[in-house]
Structure 1
Amino acid sequence: MNKSPVSIKMTMEINDLGNKDVTVVEEEGQLLEKDETTVLKFSETNENNEQTDSLITIHPDKVSVKRSGAVSMLQKFRSKQTTENVYRHQFGTMHMETQTDQILYQPPVANKNGKLFISYQTSLNGETPRHQRLTIRLKKEN
């Protein structure tokens, strides 16, 4: 298993009826690579100084995002499929349905940065689905 420190830049875009909301998180984390599985581990702290730990597992045909702490969820992305999960945070619990359109992953190699891109639609508690894009850029640190 290869284990590397990485710097992470995660950009989340939500497009809701023409209104675009973009959130960018930059953190340090760890990249674990074994065979066809890649795991990205990092923690982030919100404005209330509460920590959320993230574990993103990347397989050739699917990606799972497990978050625990201030936010709790296990979201699964499978290309061209619908998945469901429960999202828990300080304001309560929401049912989440995700239709994944596209997953692209380029692992970081040598001096080239890696990138995970997921395009999907999410419906919270049965509401109208919102188009979302998640882009994570990875840079191996020496």
Structure 2
Amino acid sequence: MPSNAKDVQVQLVTEIQDEDRKERMEIQEPGQFFTRGDTQVITFTEHPEEGDPVSTMVTIKSEHVSIKRSGGVDMRQVFQESIETENLYHHTYGDFHMKTFTEKLEFHSLEESKQGRLYLSYTMTLNHEVTQAHRLTLTFEEESES
């Protein structure tokens, strides 16, 4: 872990909406935040109720955001405003082809304020069939020294 790594508390809220259904998932986990050059990185491990833990690495650069997950699932998703990206999502139940079109990408660094925030609004199409609207809000705050 880089020497400038800070312990943070991560909150991830994901909202998914299709024609007649809306789903909201929220997780809170301890994590790390560090910078490497012009890149900012947030890492944390999700502990789902079912399945293996999932290590998540969010890499933020000025031109795009990359989310890499490994463990219970395996994927790397790239978000670039007004651009469509593609990737494979490897899951216990099989592989899914994903197309992601990023509508909005906002990032406020922990270096700018007390709480960092990443907001993504995008549509995702799974296996060329189902298209859903997604909103992802990741907030992170430095752990207070007690």
Answer yes or no: is the 8 Å Cα contact 2:51–2:72 preserved in 1: no
Distance (whole Å) between structure 1 residues aligned to residue 124 and residue 117 of structure 2: 21
User: How far did residue 128 of structure 1 move?
Assistant: 3.5
Question: Which of 96, 100, 103 is the aligned partner of 1:101?
Answer: 103
- How many residue pairs align between the two structures? 142
**What corresponds to 2:119 in structure 1?**
117
Report the TM-score, using the length of structure 1 for normalisation.
0.94
Distance (whole Å) between structure 2 residues aligned to residue 31 and residue 76 of structure 1: 19
Give the superposed CA RMSD: 1.4
Give the share of equivalent positions with the same residue, in percent. Answer: 34
Distance (whole Å) between structure 1 residues aligned to residue 68 and residue 124 of structure 2: 16
**What corresponds to 2:8 in structure 1?**
6
Please list every run of 5 or more consecutive structure 1 residues that lacks an aligned counterpart in the other structure.
none
CA gap 1:48/1:128 in 2 versus in 1, 3 angstroms: closer
Partner AA of 1:82 in structure 2: E
Higher strand share: 1
- 4+ long deviations beyond 2 Å: none
Distance (whole Å) between structure 2 residues aligned to residue 49 and residue 93 of structure 1: 16
User: How far did residue 50 of structure 1 move?
Assistant: 1.2
Report the TM-score, using the length of structure 2 for normalisation.
0.92
CA gap 1:49/1:89 in 2 versus in 1, 3 angstroms: closer
